[in-house]
Amino acid sequence: MDKAFTLDFGVPLLRWDFGRREKRFFIYGCMDGQIAHCANTGSMMGLQDAKGVWVTPYPADSGRKLLFGAEMLEMPDGTLVGINTQLPNKLAKGAILAGMVPELEGDIRTEVKLDAATRFDLKVGETWVEVKNVTLAEGDVALFPDAKTERGAKHLRELQKIAENGGKAMQLYMVQRADCMMVKPADHVDAVYGAALRSAISAGVQVVALGCTLTEQGIRVDRRLLVVV
């Protein structure tokens, strides 16, 4: 696929030797004072053996309690994995605007309410879109989720209802690592989610996966991945 979208980090990242993750929201480097905010509430399964963490430095007058934000983990084989869950929606929007998802046409709205209890990440034209960040992998297969997610299953059930009622709905996976060729549901992690995904597909929900290549400069969405259920 020739079409692509690149999101630049905007500032030079710093690399620390990876120490540990604590209380979900903190990543420590191996040297004193190296503490970064981790914008990822997932388990980050499979990433505990990272050898490095790449962080964004924030200005001292930014008002932030922590002056570093974790963007990527560097695995032992050198693979970079994007762990900032604030970015997938931006990546998805950029990829859609770049024409990487021709199934989606029309104006893009973000954080759109379906009803009082349900909100989806995007609505593109008349299509409701939920975006998920994928970091877990086994070999060249990306897997989602990396922890049990009732919220994720609920979104799929709501997408299925939309499709069953004649509407348009899509589950969009953003795989923030370059070493994967396909995406599968992680049934061994959450069988309920896997069943909900298959049911949604049977009802007409579209499922698309996009792969990313990460560097020190930014994240490039550069390919579509096969979805196998």
Q: Find all residues with CB under 8 Å of 23, minimum gap 6, and list them.
A: none
CA atoms within 13 A on the CB side of 73: 26
Q: What is the pLDDT of residue 117?
A: 87
Instruction: Give the residue among 45, 105, 98, 35 at the shortest CA–CA distance from 70.
Output: 35
Give percent of the chain with pLDDT exceeding 70: 100
Instruction: Give tens-digit pLDDT for 147-160.
Output: 999 999 999 999 99
**Judgement on whether residues 36 and 147 belong to the same structural domain of the protein:** no
CA 34 from chain centre, in angstroms, equals 25
> What's the mean pLDDT in 5-33?
97
Q: Are 206 and 162 in contact (CB under 8 A)?
A: no
pLDDT exceeds 80 at position 168: yes
**Judgement on whether residues 67 and 145 belong to the same structural domain of the protein:** no
Question: Residue 1 domain-assigned?
Answer: no
**Judgement on whether residues 145 and 184 belong to the same structural domain of the protein:** yes
* Full domain range(s) for residue 73: 6-82
- What's the domain count of the chain? 2
pLDDT exceeds 70 at position 125: yes
